[in-house]
Amino acid sequence: MARDLAIDLGTANTLVYMKGRGIVLNEPSVIAVNRQTGEVLATGREAWQMIGRTPGYIVAVRPLRGGAITDFEITERMIRLLLQRVGVSRFTRPKVVICVPSAITEVERRAVTDAARRAGAADAQLIEQPMAAAIGADLPIDEPIGNMVIDIGGGTSESAVISLGGIVALEAVRVGSFDIDASIQAYVRREHGIAIGERTAEEVKVAIGSAAETEDESQAEVRGRDLMTGLPRTVVLTPEEVRVAIDDTLSSIIDSIKRCLAKAPPELAQDFLVRGMYLVGGGGLLRGLPQRIEKETNVPVRMSNMPLEAVVMGAGHCIEHYDALKTMFMGARR
Amino acid sequence: MTWVYVLIAVVLVVSVWLMRGRRVESGMTSYRKHIDALSSESRRGVREVNDRQRNGRRPNDTGK
């Protein structure tokens, strides 16, 4: 008998929680395929290392963009391989709970559940990421208290107000960490005339990226291809330049948080001033981001203890208490 | 003749089992279960399961 699974199918990373076992898989959501034969060559970390470095006949892609499936067939194969790696076979078909962005359309919702069922799941249910994040971040969402969670992922940023076991207000934008990386790429191209890859842009963000001025800032050397000569060239980027590059992207994320705050009923809004808002997701790890959100909203911001695992832990809790929490799944209420 | 009694017993057991499955919980009961399942004590179990897994074998970590 297969153990039931919870999957955080993120744009950046995929995490799998197995009932009674905990998190058994944490890998980048990347798959490398041979274009000529259609064979899968690598998944996860191995495929991630191939991005931007493959010969013509190999393509290493992220099948999800903005939290949505951009390539149904590739996603299905990736889910199938993931399930195989955690022990699912044609004879052992588990129940699966998958975390998806709340702004997902009906078509996208069906695409995810169909992919999971075809990949070997006996039943596939979906749960909104902010809800799973709030459960995983251990917020007291069972109480009549306003809990606000902000989940900044690779492709989406979602804010939700949760009280008494349900979502009261919700706001989502299809902007996330990858858009921050893309902003850095575009800035370097525009201001320095060199082209850099998405992995390099991510490294710049991790090394010197910040949302607000911080102590002990340093510069970073960036290597890329000169757009005029086509030759390799190195430029030096300052943290100030990176802040300018990513400002618009961060502003759209912060604007969506403000819209969510504005939607909250007054009785719950007053709780935020005391309890603060909880930040989860890899995007929340950007230096100075909690401080900037706090400055722009006048509401304290706290980091979750497990920002990268909160969503899958929340979904894991739903799989452990499947019958009691099945009303929480998307579709169950509609 | 014994097999008839066995058959009746089996039919009764199956009927009772089916009726139990069909019984609809009241809204208040299912809501209470839902809220109880979200309590902090209930969530502690999941953290303990994951801590055991983490201490036993570490899954491959990634950057973002």
Q: Domain coordinates of chain A in residue numbers? A: 5-131+310-328, 140-175+250-303, 177-245
Which ipTM did the prediction report?
0.75
DSSP code, position A282 = G
Least-confidence region, from A89-103, A167-181, A251-265, A281-295: A89-103
Residue-wise pLDDT tens digits, A99-131: 988 878 888 888 889 888 888 899 999 999 999
Name the token pair of A257.
Answer: 């948080």
A169 versus A103: which is more confidently predicted? A169
Q: Classify A140-175+250-303 by CATH class.
A: alpha beta
Contact criterion met (CB < 8 Å) for A324 and B39: no
Q: A30-48, pLDDT tens digit by residue?
A: 999 998 998 889 989 999 9
Long-range interactions of A283-286: CB distance < 8 A, separation 24+: A283/A152, A283/A153, A283/A154, A283/A157, A283/A176, A283/A177, A283/A180, A283/A253, A284/A150, A284/A151, A284/A152, A286/A177, A286/A180, A286/A205, A286/A209, A286/A210, A286/A211
**Buried-state track A147-176, b at ≥16 Cβ within 10 A, e below 16:** bbbbbbbbbbbbbbbbbebebbbbbbbbbb
The architecture in CATH of the region A5-131+310-328 reads 2-Layer Sandwich (3.30)
pLDDT in tens, B2-15: 888 888 998 998 88
pLDDT, tens digit, 9 for 90 and up, residues A307-334: 999 999 999 999 999 999 988 898 765 4
Token digits for A278? Answer: 């909880």
Q: Residues 44-63, chain B: which have Cβ within 8 Å of A? A: 45-47, 49-54, 59-63
Residue B28 tokens read as 């208040």
Distance between CA B20 and CA A315 in Å, rounded? 28
- Give the chain B residue nearest A16 (alpha carbons): B59
Taking CA–CA distances from A315, the nearest residue in chain B reads: B46
Residues whose CB is less than 8 angstroms from the CB of residue A61 and which lie 6 or more positions away in sequence, other chains included: A30, A31, A32, A33, A71, A74
Q: Is A107 on the interface with B (CB under 8 A)?
A: no
**Strand ranges for A164-216 from DSSP E:** 166-173, 194-195
Note whether B27 contacts A: Cβ–Cβ < 8 A.
no
Given a contact cutoff of 8 angstroms between Cβ atoms, the answer to whether A8 and A311 are in contact is: yes
Asked if pLDDT for residue A61 goes beyond 70, the answer is: yes
Chain B: closest CA distance from residue A25 (Å): 6
Region A131-146: mean pLDDT is 94
> CA–CA separation, A284 vs A176, rounded Å?
10
Cβ contact, residue pair B36, A135, below 8 Å: no
> Which CATH class name applies to A177-245?
alpha beta
- H helix or E strand, kind and range, residue B44: helix B40-56
Examine domains A5-131+310-328 and A177-245 and report if their fold is the same: no
Share of chain A above pLDDT 90, in %: 68
Of A51-60, A63-72, A158-167, A190-199, minimum mean pLDDT range = A63-72
Q: How far apart are CA A144 and CA B35, in angstroms?
A: 11
Considering only CB atoms, A313 lies closest to which of B33, B38, B46, namely B46
CB within 8 Å: A138 and B43: yes
How far apart CA A62 and CA A198 sit, in angstroms, is 12
Q: Which residues of A touch B38 (CB under 8 A)?
A: 135, 141-142, 165, 325
